[in-house]
């Protein structure tokens, strides 16, 4: 699996699936969740209501339509809310692992990811990047591109530097 990095807005990515950093209620929210529901339109919420009547557990993933976005599916994950005492890092790596499993079920080959939990949920950004990279590096999946979407220049520079650090010398 190739790991790529772009700076931009995840809602505009031309990939098979975009990952949403949702919350347990699965009825929309702020940050990337708000952007995905706004760009995808009401079909995304309607599909959330239909498929997730009781929401989703922290660390888990599930899919809906992407509505009006260029992607075909949204893979929603619920990252740990560090600000609410969810400090178990395994919950964060689980989001990435489960997202790739759902992508495989869907047959999605390219998947765009935000930095789950690194916004309102308060996970330190550098460790949030490393958690994603650890899972991507060791994943057994048919996904051939994991695209990390950096929202802003500083996130882009951070992801690039962690990616270069991890890559063994040629």
**Minimum distance of ligand ADP from residue 51's CB (angstroms):** 20
Please give the residues from 41 up to 70 whose contact with ligand ADP meets the rule CB under 6 A.
Answer: none
Please give the residues from 90 up to 119 whose contact with ligand ADP meets the rule CB under 6 A.
Answer: 114-119
Closer of 37 and 139 to ligand ADP (Cβ): 37
**Minimum distance of ligand ADP from residue 121's CB (angstroms):** 3
Sole window of 6-14, 40-48, 84-92, 158-166 interacting with ligand ADP (rule: CB under 6 A): 6-14
Please give the residues from 16 up to 45 whose contact with ligand ADP meets the rule CB under 6 A.
Answer: 21, 31-33, 35
**Minimum distance of ligand ADP from residue 23's CB (angstroms):** 7
Active site residue 60: no
> Do 118 and 126 form a contact (C-beta atoms < 8 A)?
no
- CA distances (Å), origin 139, targets 64, 111, 153, 157: 23, 13, 27, 24
Does residue 133 belong to the site contacting ligand ADP (CB under 6 A)?
no
DSSP 51-75: H-TT---TT-EEEEE-TTSSSSEEE
Retrieve residue 112's tokens: 């765009």
Choosing from 1, 45, 106, 120, the residue that interacts with ligand ADP (CB under 6 A) is 120
Nearest to 22 by CA among 65, 58, 69: 58
Q: How far apart are CA 106 and CA 39, in angstroms?
A: 21
Closer of 11 and 107 to ligand ADP (Cβ): 11
**Minimum distance of ligand ADP from residue 169's CB (angstroms):** 29
Q: Give the three-class secondary structure for 26.
A: coil
Closer of 31 and 41 to ligand ADP (Cβ): 31
Residues with Cβ within 8 Å of residue 108, at least 6 apart in sequence: 15, 16, 17, 72, 73, 75, 143
User: Which residues are the active-site residues?
Assistant: 33
């Amino acid at each position: 699996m190739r790991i790529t990095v772009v700076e931009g807005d995840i809602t505009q990515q031309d990939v098979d699936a975009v990952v949403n950093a949702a919350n347990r209620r699965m009825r929309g929210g702020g940050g990337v969740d708000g952007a995905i529901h706004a760009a995808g339109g009401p079909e995304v919420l309607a599909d959330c209501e239909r498929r997730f009547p009781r929401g989703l557990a922290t660390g888990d993933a599930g899919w809906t339509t992407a509505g009006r976005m260029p992607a075909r599916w949204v893979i929603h994950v619920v990252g740990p809310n560090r600000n609410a005492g969810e400090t178990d890092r395994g919950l964060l790596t689980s989001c990435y692992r489960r997202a790739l499993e759902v992508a495989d079920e869907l047959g999605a080959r390219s998947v765009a990811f935000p930095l789950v939990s690194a916004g309102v949920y308060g996970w330190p950004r550098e460790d949030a990047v490393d958690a994603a990279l650890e899972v991507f590096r060791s994943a057994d999946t048919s996904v051939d591109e994991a695209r990390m979407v950096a929202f802003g220049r500083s996130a882009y520079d951070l992801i690039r530097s962690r990616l270069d650090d991890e890559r063994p010398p040629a």
